[in-house]
């Protein structure tokens, strides 16, 4: 099995490289994999989340046997809603789907993605600043939109590492 990833602002790439280091599995960026890996190779796919979708998954699934999926987004690791959404949308077995909190860095975004995130950020910041009783997750999201942040860590990969080691 190989790790194949698609990254937009670098957080998925950091997770993929970290997972490769922790497991000894070879890591490929999706474009690189398409040029180097044999069609139908078994992979763990890691992609960035956008509007509930794991970007790059469709192309990966068309070319490889996807054994597991990691979606990387801004939401907290405590919220299983993102992971369950991936399970439902991609029709993957529950035990082979993971959600990882990546981070947010507006300076690494470009074009429409940057424009959209600026607009969303303004709305989220206003909403959470006006709210009196904020949850810890809302406080974290407010800070993330205002100041950026990076949550990539080996600890966040623990369930993925355990899954890979069973394979």
The per-residue pLDDT of the chain, averaged, comes to 92
What pTM was estimated for this model as a whole? 0.88
Q: Are residues 12 and 89 in the same domain?
A: yes
* Residue 95 DSSP label: G
pLDDT given at position 71: 95
| Share of the chain residues as helix, strand and coil, in percent rounded to the nearest 5 | 50, 20, 25
Query: Is the backbone of residue 40 left (phi > 0), alpha (psi -120 to 50) or beta?
Result: left
Q: Are residues 20 and 75 in the same domain?
A: yes
- List the domain range (segments joined by +) for residue 84: 2-105+150-166
> In terms of pLDDT, which residue wins out, 60 or 116?
60
Does pLDDT of 152 surpass 90? yes
Q: Are residues 110 and 36 in the same domain?
A: no
Distance between CA atoms of residues 61 and 15, nearest Å: 20
The per-residue pLDDT for range 74-116, each reduced to its tens digit, is 888 777 888 888 888 888 988 999 999 999 998 888 888 888 8
Q: Are residues 41 and 71 in the same domain?
A: yes
Judging by beta carbons within 10 Å of its beta carbon (0-12, 13-18, 19+), is residue 105 exposed, middle or buried?
middle
Give the mean model confidence (pLDDT) for residues 116-144.
88
Q: Are residues 60 and 128 in the same domain?
A: no
Q: Are residues 51 and 126 in the same domain?
A: no
């Amino acid at each position: 099995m190989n790790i194949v990833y698609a990254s937009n602002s670098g957080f998925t790439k950091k997770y993929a490289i970290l997972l490769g280091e922790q497991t000894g599995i070879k890591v490929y960026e999706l474009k690189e994999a398409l040029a180097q890996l044999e069609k139908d190779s078994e992979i763990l796919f890691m992609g960035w989340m956008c509007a509930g979708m794991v970007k790059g998954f469709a192309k990966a699934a068309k070319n490889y046997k996807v054994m597991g999926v990691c979606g990387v987004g801004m939401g907290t690791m405590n919220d299983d809603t993102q992971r369950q959404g991936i399970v439902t949308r991609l029709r993957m077995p529950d035990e082979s789907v993971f959600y990882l909190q990546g981070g947010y860095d507006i300076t690494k975004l470009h074009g429409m993605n940057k424009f959209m995130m600026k607009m969303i950020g303004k709305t989220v910041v206003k909403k959470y600043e006006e709210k009196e009783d904020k949850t810890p997750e809302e406080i974290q999201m407010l800070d993330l939109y205002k100041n950026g942040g990076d949550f990539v860590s080996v600890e966040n990969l623990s369930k993925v590492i355990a899954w890979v080691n069973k394979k």
